[in-house]
Amino acid sequence: MKRYFLALVLLACTNTISAQYGKGDYNHIGISLGINQTNLYTDNFNITPAMNWTAGLSMRGNYYNNFSMIYGMNFSENKFAIETFSGISQKEVDLKMMAVQIHLLLCYKIDGGPVSLDFGPVLQVNSKLKFNDSDENNFIVGNELLRVQDIEDINPINFNVYAGISGGFENIRLSLSYQYGVTNILNNLNKQEEVALKVDGKLKGNLGVFAGNIIFYF
C-alpha cells in the first residue's frame, strides 16, 4: 500500500511541475481543504454515515468555450459506523480508511459565468478498514456470523464517478460534490474463503461520499 501512495504522490508532483512550465493565464494550481460525509450502501450491514476531512492538489485550465478541465489528487480520511453487538449490548463501531484519489473532471461554465458543473471519473487507492482493537471481536448486526475484524480487508483499488458544482472567484472557489463508487468495495472479502463461507460470497457495498471544499488557486 505504501508503494501505491508513493507512486501516486510522485505522479501528482510531476504533472503539477510540468504543467507549470507551460502555464498560461488560464492555468491555475489549486490547493483544497474540506470535509466529507461517507456512507456505505449495502444490504449486508447497518451503516451510519460519518464526517471526516479531505485535502488535495489540482490543476484547472480552460478547454473550449465554456468548458474547462480539472485534474488532480485528493487525500482523505473517510469514516462510517457499523452496528455491532457484544454479549447483550449493541454498539456502533467507527470504521476508517485513508484514501488517495486521482480525478479528471470536465467542467461546464453556466452561461460562461463563475459557476460550473463538474463531472468525471475518479481512481481511488485506499487502505484497509481501521477500527479500535477493543472492538475487533464484536459481531456485526445484519450478518451475525461475521466479526468486525473479518471485514477489514476491502478492495484496495476502486473507481468512483464524480458530480458537483463549484463557483467563486479566480483565486478562491467553493465546491460541493458527490461521489458514487461504481465498484463493489467489499468484493475482496468474497474472495477470502473463511469470510465467503460465512456470507455465501454475497457481500456487496458501494461508497457514497458527499464533500464540501474551499479551493485556493495560484
Which tens digit of pLDDT belongs to each residue from 56-93? 999 999 878 899 999 999 999 999 999 999 988 999 99
**pLDDT tens column, 179-212:** 999 999 999 999 999 999 999 889 999 999 999 9
CA 195 – CA 137 distance, rounded (Å): 14
Runs of H (alpha helix) within 105-148:
none
Q: How many CB atoms lie within 10 A of CB 169?
A: 9
Domain with 198, as residue range(s), is 26-217
Q: How many domains does the chain have?
A: 1
Specify which residues 97 forms β-bridges with.
78
Rounded distance, CA 169 to CA 181, Å?
A: 30
**18 confidence band (pLDDT: 50, 70, 90):** very low
Is 3 contained in some domain?
A: no
In this prediction, residue 26 carries a pLDDT of 63
Average pLDDT over residues 132-156: 96
User: Does residue 10 fall inside a structural domain?
Assistant: no
pLDDT of residue 88: 85
Flag whether 140 is in a domain. Answer: yes
CATH of the domain at 150: 2.40.160.20
Max Cα distance, the chain (Å)? 64
Q: Over range 36-48, report the average pLDDT.
A: 97
Pick 5 or 113 by higher pLDDT: 113
Query: Is 185 strand, coil or helix?
Result: coil
Pick from 19-33, 36-50, 101-115, 176-190: least confident? 19-33
Residue 113's pLDDT band (cuts 50, 70, 90):
confident
Cα of 53 vs its chain's centroid, Å: 11
Return mean pLDDT, the chain.
89
- Over residues 50-55, the mean pLDDT reads 98
Evaluate whether residue 200 is within a structural domain: yes
Strands of the chain (E only): list them: 27-41, 47-64, 67-86, 89-109, 115-126, 139-140, 143-147, 157-168, 172-181, 206-217
Closest to 147 in 3D by CA, of 132, 160, 161, 136: 136
The C-alpha atoms of residue 17 and residue 5 are separated, in whole angstroms, by 18
Within 8 A by CB and 6+ apart from 174, the residues are 166, 167, 168, 212, 213, 214, 215
Residue 99 lies in a domain: yes
